Amino acid sequence: MNWKGILTTVLVSATTAVVSVGLYAKYQQRNNYALVASQGKVPVNYAGFFGKDGNPGQPVDFEAAASTAIPAVVHIKTSTNPRTVSNNLPRQKNPFAELFGLGDDDPFGQMFGQKSIPGQIASGSGVLISEDGYIVTNNHVVDGADEVNVTLSNKKYMKAKVVGTDPSTDLAVLKIEGHGYPYLLYGNSDDVHIGQWVLAVGYPFTLETTVTAGIISAKGRALGLNSRKAANSAVESFLQTDAAVNPGNSGGALINTKGELIGINSAIASPTGAFAGYSFAIPVNITKKVVNDLIAYGMVQRGYLGIEYPNEQALDQLTEEQRKQQGVADDVNGVSISTVVPGGAAEAAGLKKGDIITKINGNIISGGADLQGRIALYKPGEKINITYLRDGSEHTAIATLKNNAGTLDVVHTSALDKLGAQFATLDAAKAKALGIKGGVVVSGIGQGIISDQTMMKNKFVILRVDGKDVYSVDQFKAALDGKSSVNVEGIYPGFEGVYQYGLNDLNGQGSSSGGDDDGQ
């Protein structure tokens, strides 16, 4: 037997094996993923994250962020008193009144033309943003409430005052008396990235403070929710997350892992009304602007660019031929201008129909919601730098934003604003067709005195205020100024008769004030 040859073969085999294992291990360290195969299936990558040394990345610890946020998130409870709304039509007579001798004291006849709305109790969440008791929450949490109460994380129960609301962004600011409250610091929603870990903090289903975790799934989302309350001025540019949010979480905090406030939880996408995978938060940069304006002015000072652009969902329904006819570019990200409003900021800056806005102050604009969110950060009179495409070439322009009246002035809350609707002077031709001298057309009825106190519908034409004819919006506004209540008369085109509506509390200041408790 040739022992020398056998020994040589064994040594060569062993050496080869050792070298092969060493090379394989070194190769694995350079590749931060692994493959796993099973019988009859395609190999797949592990969904783990591996560091540069080949070891799994360190897990994120949410404990510090959660402990920071919990004391600053409050439970909000609201109550609405029972009320009766009426179309104020002439009182209809009960056909059984004479039979039973009820006469003018008939309680049933008084109910004709009236609608009773029972009292309601609701709850939500809010976030303390200052040591002296300012709280930010959703507008829909306090909308229409007669009383607002706040429970702190230490179980202290207090009354709150509504400082201001903004249906366009679904935000509201409350105030409780006292000092020394824990509060959250603002983060920067521009620094938020898809895939980033976030925590949602609030009071779902009236439970105690609840913290859930998830990631940012998308940015610049629009859902069409705010247009229900503010048809012509809605602003939506939501952060989308998969952190669990349920009824009661509205108005609560969305924070990053540093414990900074990056959003206000506002909505969920769900076929059942409970969490089904996606929730939406108002970015903190928009929140800061709205909160500061509500505290300083009582209403938001919103800058307008003065353009119209196609609805992105409607664009998705267009055929290729229709897109060509309307000049819709398929290969460019941005917002295509369909109309430039005469006298607006965009016209003054030289923008034209067909231009495609791609950046605002250097920030990339991916769509309409993104543009809305970016413009919402600025006041009338502030300048923005616009990058746009025209005929394939890139250009820049500086636009000075204007208010909704087309001026640079600060806008103050008026009785007209409190009505919660849009008003327009009736066109002369339409007035002639209706056989009247003029009037004011009501549209876009949202949150406000009209919806709270009456059954008025869109397209109502106002003819008189307290018996005095009004032919324009300016005359209507003047008729309201300085009055706490008025009686409005008008018609519905196509229907017979004159309708009357009583509008009260035109000078009202909102909900109840707080007590004298401190925030310890």
Each residue's pLDDT tens digit, 21-49: 565 555 455 444 333 333 444 444 444 44
pLDDT at 85: 60
Of 290, 292, 198, nearest to 235 by C-alpha is 290
The pLDDT of residue 55: 55
Looking at residue 321, its pLDDT comes to 76
pLDDT at position 1 is: 52
- At position 347, the amino acid (one-letter code) is E
Is residue 220 scored above 50 in pLDDT? yes
The token pair that represents 176 in the structure block: 């409780």
Q: Amino acid letter at 297?
A: Y
**pTM of the predicted protein model:** 0.72
Catalytic residue among 250, 266, 279, 511: 250
Provide the pLDDT for residue 231.
Answer: 60
193 among known catalytic residues:
no
**Rounded mean pLDDT of 398-418?**
84
- Domains, the chain, with CATH or none: 3-45 (no CATH), 61-81+119-300 (2.40.10.120), 301-309+328-413 (2.30.42.10), 415-503 (2.30.42.10)
pLDDT number for residue 120: 84
pLDDT mean across residues, the chain:
82
* Mean pLDDT of the region 399-423: 84
Would you state the pLDDT for residue 414?
75
What is the predicted pLDDT for the residue at 518? 40
Q: Does 140 qualify as catalytic in the annotation?
A: yes
Q: Out of 143, 166, 170, 293, which one is annotated catalytic? A: 170
**Looking at residue 444, what is its pLDDT?**
78
Residue 494: its pLDDT value, please? 87
Q: Is the pLDDT of residue 517 over 90?
A: no
Contacts of 19 (CB under 8 A, 6+ apart): none
170 is catalytic: yes
pLDDT category of residue 251 using cuts at 50, 70 and 90: very high
- Is the model more confident about 259 or about 270? 259
Rounded Cα–Cα distance for residues 294 and 301 (Å): 9
pLDDT tens figures, 167-216: 999 999 999 999 999 999 999 999 999 999 999 999 998 888 999 999 99
The torsion angle over the Cα atoms of residues 345, 351, 353 and 359, rounded to 10 degrees, is -100
Point out the catalytic residue in the list 106, 123, 140, 237.
140
